[in-house]
């Protein structure tokens, strides 16, 4: 999330605490602030892992996935989806420590 969105979210939370913003507005804002999840290519997944300086097996452990899954992603045989894709996006944006 960008610094601008974080600031907006903090300001809106303060307004909510002062009963100037309703629950629906806060839910919509919080949903808009979620990390965007887009498909990753095999090369991108390999680059994310390489930039994390870990082996495929260690990377798989961080993601709570099998080493075979990571290998298939990096070869382009399978595409990560769901929670695995979200974790990969978080690692891409914030580094491996974000999910440690």
42-99 has which fold?
Answer: 434 Repressor (Amino-terminal Domain) (1.10.260)
Tens digit of each residue's pLDDT (9 = 90 or more) over 14-58: 999 999 999 999 999 888 888 788 999 999 999 999 999 999 999
Between 11 and 2, the higher pLDDT residue: 11
Task: Provide the whole-model pTM.
Answer: 0.75
Residue 80: how many other CB atoms lie within 10 Å: 20
Does the pLDDT value for residue 2 go beyond 80?
no
Integer angstrom CA distances of residue 7 from 50, 66, 90, 95 = 32, 38, 20, 22
Q: Please say if the pLDDT value at position 1 is more than 70.
A: no
Nearest C-alpha neighbor of 63 from the set 72, 31, 77, 36: 72
- Planar angle of CA 63, 86, 79, nearest 5 degrees: 80
**C-alpha torsion angle, residues 42, 48, 53, 59 (rounded to 10):** -70
Which band of pLDDT confidence, cut at 50, 70 and 90, is reported for residue 9? confident
Ranges of CATH 1.10.260.40 domains, the chain:
42-99
């Amino acid at each position: 999330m960008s610094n601008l969105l974080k600031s907006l979210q903090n300001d809106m939370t303060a307004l909510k605490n002062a009963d100037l913003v309703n629950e629906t507005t806060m839910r919509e804002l919080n949903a808009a602030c979620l990390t965007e999840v887009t498909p990753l290519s095999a090369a991108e997944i390999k680059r994310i892992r390489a930039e994390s300086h870990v082996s495929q097996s260690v990377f798989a452990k961080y993601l709570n996935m099998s080493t075979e899954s990571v290998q298939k992603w990096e070869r382009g045989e399978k595409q990560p989806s769901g929670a695995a894709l979200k974790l990969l996006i978080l690692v891409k944006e914030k580094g491996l420590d974000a999910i440690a």
